Structure 1
Amino acid sequence: MGAVNAFRLLMEARRNQWLKPAELEELQAKRLRAMIQHAYDNTEFYHRKFKDAGIRPEDIKTADDLKKVPFTTKSEVREHSTGSMLARGVDLRKCIVTETSGSTGIPTKVVYDSNANDFSKAINLRSHFESGLTPWSRWAIFGDPHHFQKPTWFQKFGLLSPTWISAFDPVEKQIEFLRKFKPDVLSGYTSSLYLLSSAIKEKGVEGIAPKVVISTSELLDPSTREYINSVFDVEMVDHFGCVELNRTAWECSEHTGYHIDVDAVAMEFISDGEAAAPGERGEIVYTGLYNYAMPLIRYKIEDVGVPSDEACPCGRGLPLMKLIEGRSDSFMQTPDGRTFSPIIWTLIMRQIPGVGHFKAIQERKDLIRILVVRDQAFTEATTGRIVHDVQEVMGEGMHVDVDVVEEIPKDKSGKVRCAVSKVGKAI
């Protein structure tokens, strides 16, 4: 990342957040029109998609016009990201090519050129600075080692220099490092932060006292938030995004909702093919506004959220999404047609004595398998209580198998998702 360009973009992004909503809409529309024209003129993929849909770039003037454009699916990106989706003249050898975690078993390649990478990092840093990060903070991040990047020249002098911790490392190793490192800021996967907090409390570990804790990449439910806050004596904040577009929304200290980075992305919430109303759950669809190397227009990320029309008391002009409910393949369906958010698993399982960590896997519409790591309160009655409480919520037609295991297996990225459905999408 070019230092001068990066800091210029960061300062611009920090100013943008205080623009009035109408000014941000105008800025977004200007960047959207430029991206649409570029994608049409310079990528075979979107030129063909627009032609097939009978639309031209001039038909898209604002984010409201995006409904005219067909969706871009994950399977299309997997197939075309380093081919017809690349802009004319892009040299892959000079780009950063990263991959998503591939929870389907097939990772998606994402291409950023240097300009897009600078812009992306500026937007990401904005949310961290607003959460309490400073240029000289001792900053530790839990993550996927496949995404770790080599430090730039200024990071070698300790400026904006995060230290990466592999989510795959045993928690004992993580604790040993953090006691020596003494981070001011601790961020990364929600599941890693929870597992660390649990181990610190259980073992009575001292000497790890970050001033700022930031979760990302996974659902942060109220119970997990409260638990992590209690262990570290902080008011943690949650950030939201994806590998394909990096940071897209984030909490400020008001915890009113998630500020959407509308100067970097156009975010839609789609329910039954139409725009979801404020307060209504919808599947998130993204259009990126800065990655000219590999444009993404109306990209179905397969996450679910709820738009909000409230204004945050903080005064920022960035609009809010009120709630993030998780990936669409984390939602569970029941034989009687009901749909449950992954948040219910925390609400159910955290009330049952003897359950340490857990993961719920829907194998069929009428079968859920629950992996449980027991804690010291586990008894023979715990399994029966799990079956009873799940059926009480999801119906007696739902069969529940409980497997007691030593450890919950992590995804390829190192995350630990508490809920996964193998049934067709519920939303």
Structure 2
Amino acid sequence: MSVPAWLARGVFRVQEAAMRRPTFAMLAELERTQWLSRSEMLDYQTGHLNVLLQLALAHSPWHADRLQAAGLADAVRAGAVLPSDLPRLPTMDKRDARDNVERLVWRGVPGGVFPYTTGGSSGEPLIFYFGRARQAADAAGRLRARRWWGVNPGEREVYLWGAPVELNKTDRIKSLRDRLVNQLLLNAFEMSPVRMDDYLQAIRTWNPRAIYGYASSLALLAAHAEARGIRPRLDALRVVSSTGEPLFPHQRELIERVFGVPVSVEYGARDAGLMALQAPDGSLLQMSETHLVEVLDAAGNPAEEGEAVITSLVSAAQPFIRYRTGDVVRRSGRADPGGRGLAVLDAVVGRQTDFIVAADGRIMHALAVIYVLRAIPGVGQFKLIQHAVDRLEVQVVPDARWNDAAREAILHGLRARLGATLVVDLNLLDTIAPEASGKHRYVVSHVPLHGALAQAVA
């Protein structure tokens, strides 16, 4: 049973205050700054960039060395760096962030630092640290975008999602908290036909204002509903928001046909943060207040389409400055038709994730197995290839921490997810080659889905 939106919003405010996250203050700021002119937005970004660089110079020795070497240290101290000066710094990548973490992280950042692990688009695990400002910015950016679609904080939402924290904390307190903030969590790691029938019934009963989830999981659920002849009647629903991977045109059409509302895409990454969200007019609007986004070709030159290289203005806890995301995006020169001063992206071209099928018929998002690998010390890079429901090939580039315990942790973790009879072929490699397309896919499944389910995720 849901609670009134005003009560859920109040509980959410209390929760954020208790966690020392300035989410609602940030939301008010974003509601104001989105209407800045382009020149005013540049001034806003410049001010916040200089604050970030000053903190990096003072508290992140790795960045301080680079700022000194680039001849920018004096300009940073004077607060005189412009976004156009950033190319004087070399880019940084996931390996830089991973190998130099103790010279990057500012453990004294106000509000404290919190570790997070991400697999990344190349399957190269990264443990990084973020602070309260980053958490608040992500949450506030999402809340602002929901308002574009007529969804206010505290209104009912469904999350088709999965992560270790959500999946393990099933106690009464967590369940009560979810309901008190009007959030219904459905596990994207457990999508058997029977479970998806339950999900569709739960969504009908909950009658959410918004549905949020992985693009391919949403498409899979929509395909299952259509195969069952089910068209959910959701009078309150205003938008389905997809995240985590590119949304292909046929997936968008399928989801919109089944649920009867537009789909909005979201572009973000665990390490880089929330970077762009789609408005009702179709524009993919950057989080210009929190991110500077460069688009670079293979030679590192500005391009219309290329790799997204970001500077997160809310990453003081562990600064991400000219960080190579590994994602391919296409820039747009258009202004927002809605009149906002936010920059516009044409498209996010990168990332695709396969589903994994267990021997008992469960269909789970690939992140269910990625979470196993990325949390194990000793795994430098990885790739998983499912050859059959009972056979999984695991390619690992080990680092200096690799040992027999890491091997056993992989076997135990994967069998816990996919069944005790799973055959795991574990291969240690010096490098993991990209696909023929040049992209890295960290999970590949050769186990076919059937019928409409296959079309949903193709």
TM beyond 0.5: yes
Offset at 1:42?
0.9
Distance in 1 (CA, whole Å) between partners of 2:82 and 2:279 is: 27
Partner of 1:167: 188
Q: Tell me whether 1:89 sits opposite 2:89 in the alignment.
A: no
Offset at 1:105?
4.1
**Alignment coverage as a number of residue pairs:** 345
Kept in 2: contact 1:40–1:47 (CA 8 A) = yes
Offset at 1:207?
3.8
Kept in 2: contact 1:178–1:208 (CA 8 A) = no
Offset at 1:306?
1.2
Q: Tell me whether 1:47 sits opposite 2:74 in the alignment.
A: no
Tell me which of 212, 229, 250 is aligned to 1:204: 229
Identity of aligned residues (%): 26
Distance in 1 (CA, whole Å) between partners of 2:165 and 2:178 is: 22
The one-letter code sitting in structure 1 at the alignment partner of 2:61 is: E
Offset at 1:103?
5.0
Q: Which stretch of structure 1 is more off in the superposition, 69-78 or 54-63?
A: 54-63
Distance in 2 (CA, whole Å) between partners of 1:61 and 1:52 is: 15
Relative contact order higher in (CA < 8 Å, ≥ 6 apart): 2
The one-letter code sitting in structure 2 at the alignment partner of 1:260 is: Q
The one-letter code sitting in structure 2 at the alignment partner of 1:69 is: L
Offset at 1:407?
4.4
Segments of 5+ residues of structure 2 without an aligned counterpart are 1-15, 355-365, 367-384, 390-435, 437-444, 451-455
Kept in 2: contact 1:284–1:301 (CA 8 A) = yes
Distance in 1 (CA, whole Å) between partners of 2:213 and 2:264 is: 11
Offset at 1:102?
4.4
Q: Tell me whether 1:13 sits opposite 2:35 in the alignment.
A: no
Kept in 2: contact 1:141–1:186 (CA 8 A) = yes
Name the TM-score, length of structure 1 as normaliser: 0.71
Distance in 2 (CA, whole Å) between partners of 1:24 and 1:320 is: 13
Listed as ranges, the matches of 1:28-427 within 5 Å are: 28-56=45-73, 58=75, 61-81=81-101, 83-87=102-106, 89-90=108-109, 94-146=112-164, 148=166, 156=177, 160-171=181-192, 172-180=194-202, 181-207=206-232, 209=234, 210-255=237-282, 257-277=283-303, 280-327=304-351, 405-407=447-449
Kept in 2: contact 1:165–1:174 (CA 8 A) = no
Distance in 2 (CA, whole Å) between partners of 1:61 and 1:97 is: 30
For residues 227-277 of structure 1, give each alpha carbon's deviation from its aligned partner in whole angstroms, at most 9, with x where no partner exists. 21111111111111111132111110111x311111011111011444434
The one-letter code sitting in structure 1 at the alignment partner of 2:39 is: A
Partner of 1:352: none
Go from structure 1 to structure 2 and tell me whether the alpha carbon gap of 1:245 and 1:274 turns closer, same or farther (over 3 Å shift).
closer
Offset at 1:35?
0.3
For residues 139-169 of structure 1, give each alpha carbon's deviation from its aligned partner in whole angstroms, at most 9, with x where no partner exists. 111223225397999x938565433322211
1:140 counterpart SS class: strand
The one-letter code sitting in structure 1 at the alignment partner of 2:83 is: A
1:300 counterpart SS class: strand
Distance in 2 (CA, whole Å) between partners of 1:40 and 1:263 is: 21
For residues 10-45 of structure 1, give each alpha carbon's deviation from its aligned partner in whole angstroms, at most 9, with x where no partner exists. 111112111111111110110001101110111111
Distance in 2 (CA, whole Å) between partners of 1:28 and 1:205 is: 47
Kept in 1: contact 2:285–2:343 (CA 8 A) = yes
Distance in 2 (CA, whole Å) between partners of 1:119 and 1:404 is: 38
Go from structure 1 to structure 2 and tell me whether the alpha carbon gap of 1:311 and 1:179 turns closer, same or farther (over 3 Å shift).
same
Distance in 1 (CA, whole Å) between partners of 2:226 and 2:219 is: 11
Offset at 1:404?
6.5
Kept in 1: contact 2:232–2:259 (CA 8 A) = no
